[in-house]
Amino acid sequence: PPSPPPPPSPPPSRHLHPIMVRFPDIANDDDFNGQIVQLDVALTATVAEVKQLIIEKMSNFTRQVPSNEQMLSYIDPGFFAEENTLDFYNIEYGATLILTLLEPEADFLTENTDSGSVKVQFPYVTGSPTFTG
């Protein structure tokens, strides 16, 4: 008689597998020296969840970087939206994402009290030829 089929395995989306995140290389900053860290995630994880894992990896850093100052990207230009999943961006296990750090918002938003307008100075993004402050 044929053997019974193996028990069903959980959907692959629930399995945790490694992706890599390349941290920026910032001059005179021992915490951010271009290192690559591994995160174990499911492809169904949102970008916001990945950023929280990055914060956990930075727990022993001198400089803490909140998720709103982290931008993630991959091969194509453009940053990921926090509500989307890794699967949405066709990220595969083993891929290396690129972490870019933004300066705090207070450094580039100022209010003009005379007119009620807001002046926006684009942030300095480490390694970006476009966002130079």
The answer for residues whose C-beta is within 8 angstroms of residue 130's C-beta and 6 or more apart is: none
pLDDT digits (tens, 9 = 90+) for 16-28: 899 999 999 988 8
pLDDT digits (tens, 9 = 90+) for 35-83: 999 999 999 999 999 999 999 999 999 988 999 999 999 987 789 999 9
Share the mean pLDDT of the chain: 80
What is the band of 123 on the pLDDT scale with cuts at 50, 70, 90? low
Q: What pairing do the DSSP bridges indicate for beta strands 36-41 and 17-22?
A: antiparallel
pLDDT digits (tens, 9 = 90+) for 72-92: 999 877 899 999 999 999 999
For residues 100 and 24, is the Cβ–Cβ distance under 8 A? yes
For residues 28 and 50, is the Cβ–Cβ distance under 8 A? no
